[in-house]
Amino acid sequence: MNTGNVLEDYEKMAAKCLRCSFCKFIPQVAIKSQEFSTTCPSIDRYNFHSYSGGGRLVMALALLTNRLEFSPDVLDVIYKCTACGGCDVACKYLNRLEPLEVIQAIREKAVEVHAGPMPAHQAYTQRVQSAHNPYGEDHKRRFAWLPDDVKLSDNASVAYFVGCTSAYRRKEIAIATARVLGAAGVKFTILGEEEFCCGSPLLRVGDRKAFEELARHNIEALQRRGIRQVVMNCAGCYSIFKVEYPHVQSYGFRVYHTSQYFAQLLRNGKLKLATPIPKIATYHDPCHLGRCAEPYKTWRGIQFKVLTFIQLAIPPKPFLRGNRGVYGPPREVIRQIPGLKLVEMERNQEYAYCCGAGGGVKAAFPEFALYTAKNRLREVKKTGAEILVSACPFCSTNLQDAIRETGEPIQYFDISELLLQSLPKGGT
């Protein structure tokens, strides 16, 4: 992901796009069927080259060479992208370009020249500024979901960073997370009114300045409390803390997604599961917990052509292939649930197909978000799974919207909800 580079830094990269369209598909080695071979929800839906990772590189070059300006049509292309990173992983199998970084830089340029983001994004940005959450809900009720049976610990070194979607829209995930942590005997706290939106919805649509203010606020709030470990159940929050916050301000605490934290609690015997769930489940890898959660190292150097297709980078450029995301821990947790059988979808881990909600798409283009979730649901159905599990409240909302809309007999659970169901009655 882009870590502060500006669009002008990407002119050489944009010029290197071969227009080969590899970024519309998962890498050939990973394809199992034609039906589930694509990787880009945007080109799947709009079927015009500009709506692909490569098409957006061509657009970046045209913007940089003044052959294009930020018209409504250009903004449509820029923002009908879920920022899922599928193109980024695919291109590196051939040409080592990073289309997602360039897409992010185009969005930041659009905001800089006051052409973007889309009206729906501007509305939620204003709500974040006034209410500290994109839903415009009462900030004082951010923790109204907290059940009486969950006890917080004032001097805890572990904080549960709840995130806006779990706090206001997917409270069942927040409740399950807090109860599982409690059942494992983890002494934890929450930030209360000091927790603000993590900033992910703002950064993804190009508003870096507003994002950086939120990042500093949250880092400082956690540091003031002496927090050593931060646990979060939202893939968007996780990616933003893990990958983006360190470029804004360094921090001394460790960041965990709940799947990692729960896997550790199970390994250490702090959580014991007893209640069987005798069903077949499949796991959807959230993009921002998977390929977009790799730690990014800023690279500044030069690349030059040695032979027609051979480039040399000095110093060597670290290429992210998406394979160092959080893939093992959620599967480790699911496999330990008694009676539950895990089956994989054709596209999984770094090749997983997006749920459709990210990058500001759910807010600005809900029909596109639903289209993508329905595509993912077809793949779920093919596995024969009765339960769809994931690990992100944003995926939860969009995938459940698709389940409701299609009437498919598939149950959806967050990983925390499944764990809670599988605890011995009355705790561990």
Spatial CA neighbour of 167 closest among 255, 254, 234 = 234
Q: Does residue number 81 form part of the binding site for ligand SF4 (CB under 6 A)?
A: yes
Separation of alpha carbons 404 and 415, rounded Å: 20
Asked if 392 and 285 count as a contact pair (C-beta separation under 8 A), the reply is: no
Q: Which residue from 1, 14, 17, 357 is in contact with ligand SF4, where contact means CB under 6 A?
A: 17
Nearer to ligand SF4, 86 or 329 (CB): 86
Q: Does residue number 87 form part of the binding site for ligand SF4 (CB under 6 A)?
A: yes
Q: Which residue from 95, 133, 200, 259 is in contact with ligand SF4, where contact means CB under 6 A?
A: 95
Nearer to ligand SF4, 3 or 21 (CB): 21
Q: What's the closest the beta carbon of residue 287 comes to ligand SF4, in angstroms? A: 8
Q: Segment near ligand SF4 (CB under 6 A), from 27-35, 47-55, 147-155, 267-275?
A: 47-55
Q: Which residue from 38, 42, 177, 398 is in contact with ligand SF4, where contact means CB under 6 A?
A: 42
Residue 12 — left, alpha, or beta (φ > 0 → left; ψ -120 to 50 → alpha)?
Answer: alpha
Q: Does residue number 41 form part of the binding site for ligand SF4 (CB under 6 A)?
A: yes
Nearer to ligand SF4, 167 or 352 (CB): 352
Separation of alpha carbons 327 and 346, rounded Å: 15
Separation of alpha carbons 404 and 399, rounded Å: 9
Q: What's the closest the beta carbon of residue 18 comes to ligand SF4, in angstroms? A: 4
Q: Which residue from 14, 77, 84, 181 is in contact with ligand SF4, where contact means CB under 6 A?
A: 84
Q: Does residue number 39 form part of the binding site for ligand SF4 (CB under 6 A)?
A: yes
Nearer to ligand SF4, 50 or 422 (CB): 50
Separation of alpha carbons 6 and 17, rounded Å: 18
What is the distance of C-alpha 23 from the center of its chain? 19
Q: Does residue number 239 form part of the binding site for ligand SF4 (CB under 6 A)?
A: no
Q: Segment near ligand SF4 (CB under 6 A), from 40-48, 63-71, 107-115, 384-392?
A: 40-48
Separation of alpha carbons 19 and 422, rounded Å: 49
Question: Phi and psi of 271, rounded to 5°?
Answer: -120, 130
Separation of alpha carbons 334 and 6, rounded Å: 41
Q: Does residue number 57 form part of the binding site for ligand SF4 (CB under 6 A)?
A: yes
Q: Segment near ligand SF4 (CB under 6 A), from 83-91, 122-130, 206-214, 224-232?
A: 83-91
Q: Does residue number 165 form part of the binding site for ligand SF4 (CB under 6 A)?
A: no
Separation of alpha carbons 338 and 117, rounded Å: 46
Asked if 293 and 238 count as a contact pair (C-beta separation under 8 A), the reply is: yes
Spatial CA neighbour of 59 closest among 9, 4, 99 = 99
User: Which run of H or of E encompasses 231?
Assistant: strand 229-232
* Contacts with ligand SF4, residue ranges (CB under 6 A): 17-23, 39-42, 52-54, 56-57, 81-87, 90-91, 94-95, 97, 99-100
